[in-house]
Amino acid sequence: AQKITQTQPGMFVQEKEAVTLDCTYDTSDPSYGLFWYKQPSSGEMIFLIYQGSYDQQNATEGRYSLNFQKARKSANLVISASQLGDSAMYFCAMSSFSGSARQLTFGSGTQLTVLP
């Protein structure tokens, strides 16, 4: 069975500093994808970044980068130069094949608060 673990229920960071949100995963599927989503207080889940299990380089999207360490089964999200608007819940997720389609398994989330 697939499992995603986010061990930090809450994190604080000072504005303009970098922050790392932890994510570890467990799967026996040789082909999988790893995702990070942001959920502001409004409730919508916003896709941030994707990393494929066979990708050689770590994914980057603007201020977001994914620190992918396959041997350690970790996929940490790094946000550089934090902004007040980054305050939100962040979810790590993994895709795997189940039934007739690939599905996402989500972690329990990390609530990030950016301090002015």
Residues at the contact surface with other proteins, assessed by CB under 8 A: 4, 33, 35, 37, 42-47, 50, 52, 91, 93, 95, 99-104, 106-109
**Smallest separation, CB 95 to other proteins (Å):** 4
Of the pair 14, 113, the CB lying nearest other proteins is at 113
**Smallest separation, CB 92 to other proteins (Å):** 9
What φ, ψ does residue 72 adopt, rounded to 5°? Answer: -90, -5
Of the pair 44, 62, the CB lying nearest other proteins is at 44
Whether 81 contacts 95, CB under 8 Å = no
**Smallest separation, CB 44 to other proteins (Å):** 5
List of residues 6+ apart from 98 with CB closer than 8 A? none
- The pair of structure tokens assigned to 43 is 């409730």
- Beta-bridged to residue 52, according to DSSP, are 33
